[in-house]
Structure 1
């Protein structure tokens, strides 16, 4: 079972990381009028969906022994706070 998970993780590693990463970047770049003016869709995705994907990436990183999954897993778990920190760095507030 673990051998099958390892081969799956090694075969599709770029896809498993790129899809949530592209959705996250898309949420950051889309104007607020498409996501609702109160940022509900963006915040819900960053606070509820990306952390679950992050925990799955962490588990996959431990099974596959891949540092790439571990780094992106932590990044997805703290996606909301990383986004807020980058926003403060860019805006200089």
Structure 2
């Protein structure tokens, strides 16, 4: 069940949010790329939408977690991670 049906509508009607923003990429790179064990780092995104940021985080070897109020957003995230991230 969604707690924000407005986002359900948006995510169903608009194919956007496929790639993470540059600010997130820079933040993760500056703070976590030098870690000797990326799989030990857990990153939580609140309001994860269709999963673009989670996709990036998981593909870079970190543990990715998300909270999303739109069931459609969660479903799209799960589909993408299952298809594109090894070992998800």
Query: What TM-score do you get using the length of structure 2 for normalisation?
Result: 0.34
Q: Which has the higher strand share?
A: 2
Larger radius of gyration: 1
TM-score after normalising by structure 1: 0.33
Higher relative contact order (CA 8 A, sep 6+): 2
